[in-house]
Amino acid sequence: MYRWEIVQAVTEQRVFGIVRAATPEAALTSAEAVLDAGLRAVEVALTTPRALSAVARLTEQRPDALVGAGTVLDSAAARAAVEAGARFLVSPSLHPEVIRAGHRYGVPVFPGVATPTEIVRALEEGADAVKIFPASGVSPAWLRDVRAALPQAPAIPTGGVTVDDAPEWIAAGAVACGMGSALTSGGPSAAMERVAALLAGLAGAR
């Protein structure tokens, strides 16, 4: 897939899962839970010990899933993630070297931003979308106001987005939301119920 096709696929459902765990095995279990529940894309945070082994196993076991790597802070981590099979990269902050490394290998990058100035700089550096982080520090109304001035910015609120307010973020102009413990806590059965409720809610917000 080309970079733009990956972005389109990752944002198609308006949400992707985020997995951050104490072990690669736990990350794999959580990722499989949200994929089994109906999500097509999931990000494995590199703060998980031996996270790239989980990325590699997921890409082997779930070839139809869009598996990404999160908390990518430098070009070395970006390249290692791509070599492990990551198809998109996410950062909590803005690192031009990560964007360049991802693009070098045909992979989209979503850097973290928190202000209009950072959003514009990320776009200038070639970001495929911007991760609004932490979303808990702002609101859908804030995003709506920012997009009035910067309608060209594809925004992905992450960090504190809940099943209840995700539709509000989409209605405010977000292209997708990144969601972690709001989906994965409580085990596979709870994840299944939350994802089903979330997808139903997001369908009404489009």
Q: Which amino acid is at 38?
A: G
Nearest CA-CA partner of 172 in 130, 140, 129:
140
Query: Which two three-digit tokens encode residue 89?
Result: 């990269």
Query: Which two three-digit tokens encode residue 2?
Result: 């080309």
- Where residue 45 falls (left for φ over 0; alpha for ψ -120 to 50; beta otherwise) is beta
Compute the distance between CA of residue 154 and CA of residue 32 in angstroms, rounded to an integer: 27
Q: Which residues are catalytic?
A: 43, 131
In the beta sheet, which residues pair with residue 113? 132
Nearest CA-CA partner of 180 in 202, 201, 200, 198:
198
Instruction: Name residue, tokens 């990325």.
Output: 55
